[in-house]
Chain A
């Protein structure tokens, strides 16, 4: 049964993975991090990506059109993941859904030459589920 560190280390085994972290998108705090941090400052990276994630999850325009935002429990984030692409890497942010009050996402930083974005997105979603469901 994976804890935070095991989940992040599993993410780091994906091809091209440079760094992985789990970040609270309201406080901007990294609850765990492995590998390298983009920009070299894990705390600044967490705070900046958290702000991005917060804007996405609070955006009415980006929510599902069906109007069932939040799922049956009202706790499912309206956005599942964010993908940012730059010249040499991908950033993949996956929201983690929990029954209890948590506001976290997994952040995977992938090398663009070695990484497989489609595979990483599927795997990160599985890891987010296993992290909280076992």
Chain B
């Protein structure tokens, strides 16, 4: 029941520690340099990454949920860690919509936290995310999917620089593109990175990467600055240290109060 408490930096890959924690049925928050994985009873219940839109961004920026409804749910249920449940119970969101959006955000963040498997920084037993349980996923499913997604991107276009560099359009005649790809291309401006384009579109970052790599494969998009392009092989620029969950909640509440 008692999971190991890691306070110092370890060299153990996050995937190895996650598998151990899953076998122990542990609950808590595992931090890596690129995000936080929340476990409940050995299952992944939530993942946060600085380079992917969170559930609130996906729901409110798309218009699926009014910002007032989102903030009301956090206000009423954040401290009890039942925000997800509250969104459904208050009638703001259908249960299926919440599950689909949450799983979309969970696997999206997990890709950036786990696909390149950096070291685990620390595990805080018992720490729960304020969203609460929506739909949990086995640890090995999340790890396997993160690896599969990396291979999928590689098969589309084996140039990881597309994922991290500012992107530029290659001048060309107008071409017919599928709707999602066309929307992604329209955001390419020589300045923004894939993560920033995903945020602008209120789309999951991995799904945006898929479109951008296809555009790169078609010769329509290139890294804007070759110097930046070769600098970093990772899936995304290393974000600043992720917020502690309580800090994140307080920051969101502060923004909500300021918006009133």
Q: Which residue of chain B lies nearest to A96 when distances are taken between CB atoms in the complex?
A: B100
The number of residues on chain B lying at the interface, defined by a beta carbon within 8 Å of a beta carbon of chain A, is 37
Q: How far is the CA of A57 from the CA of B180 in the complex (A)?
A: 10
Q: How far is the CA of A104 from the CA of B180 in the complex (A)?
A: 14
The residue among B96, B98, B201 with the most chain A CB atoms within 10 A of its own CB is: B96
Q: A67 → chain B, closest Cβ, in Å?
A: 12
Q: Is the CB of A4 within 8 A of B96?
A: yes
Contact of B107 among A4, A27, A60, A132 (CB under 8 A): A27
Q: A58 → chain B, closest Cβ, in Å?
A: 4
Asked, given contacts A101-B204, A103-B207, whether A78 binds B96 with beta carbons under 8 Å apart, the answer is no
B173 at interface by CB-CB < 8 Å: no
Scoring A residues 74 to 93 as 1 if CB is less than 8 Å from chain B, else 0, what string do you get? 10001000000000000000
Scoring A residues 94 to 117 as 1 if CB is less than 8 Å from chain B, else 0, what string do you get? 001011111110000000000000
Q: Is the CB of B152 within 8 A of A100?
A: no
Scoring B residues 73 to 106 as 1 if CB is less than 8 Å from chain A, else 0, what string do you get? 0000000000000001001001111111101100
Chain A, interface SS category: loop
Q: How far is the CA of A133 from the CA of B64 in the complex (A)?
A: 10
A2 at interface by CB-CB < 8 Å: yes
Q: How far is the CA of A8 from the CA of B178 in the complex (A)?
A: 29
Q: How far is the CA of A71 from the CA of B100 in the complex (A)?
A: 21
Q: B107 → chain A, closest Cβ, in Å?
A: 6
Q: Is the CB of A104 within 8 A of B100?
A: yes
Q: Is the CB of A98 within 8 A of B97?
A: yes
Asked, given contacts A98-B64, A132-B100, whether A27 binds B152 with beta carbons under 8 Å apart, the answer is yes
CB proximity to B under 8 Å, residues A1-24? 1-4, 6-7, 22, 24
B218 at interface by CB-CB < 8 Å: no
Q: Is the CB of B100 within 8 A of A98?
A: yes
Contact residues on A (Cβ < 8 Å of other chain), bracket? 20 to 34
B258 at interface by CB-CB < 8 Å: no
Q: Is the CB of B107 within 8 A of A134?
A: no
CB proximity to B under 8 Å, residues A39-72? 57-58, 60, 69-70
Q: Is the CB of B58 within 8 A of A100?
A: yes
Q: B183 → chain A, closest Cβ, in Å?
A: 8
Q: How far is the CA of A2 from the CA of B201 in the complex (A)?
A: 28
Q: Is the CB of A100 within 8 A of B202?
A: yes
Which of chain B's residues have a CB closer than 8 A to the CB of A34? Answer: none
Q: Is the CB of A101 within 8 A of B149?
A: no
Q: B113 → chain A, closest Cβ, in Å?
A: 16
Q: A125 → chain B, closest Cβ, in Å?
A: 14
CB proximity to A under 8 Å, residues B142-157? 145, 148-149, 152
Which of chain B's residues have a CB closer than 8 A to the CB of A57? Answer: 178
Q: How far is the CA of A95 from the CA of B9 in the complex (A)?
A: 45
Scoring B residues 164 to 192 as 1 if CB is less than 8 Å from chain A, else 0, what string do you get? 00000000000010111101000000000
Contacts A29-B148, A69-B179, A98-B97 known; list 12 others, CB within 8 Å: A2-B94, A24-B104, A27-B145, A27-B206, A29-B107, A31-B100, A78-B179, A101-B104, A101-B202, A134-B91, A134-B94, A134-B97
Q: List 24 A-B contacts (CB under 8 A).
A: A1-B95, A2-B94, A2-B95, A2-B96, A3-B135, A4-B100, A7-B96, A27-B107, A27-B207, A28-B148, A58-B181, A60-B178, A99-B64, A100-B65, A100-B101, A101-B204, A101-B207, A102-B104, A130-B94, A131-B96, A132-B94, A133-B94, A133-B97, A134-B91
Q: Which residues of B contact A (CB under 8 A)?
A: 58-59, 62-65, 88, 91, 94-101, 103-104, 107, 135, 145, 148-149, 152, 176, 178-181, 183, 201-204, 206-207, 210
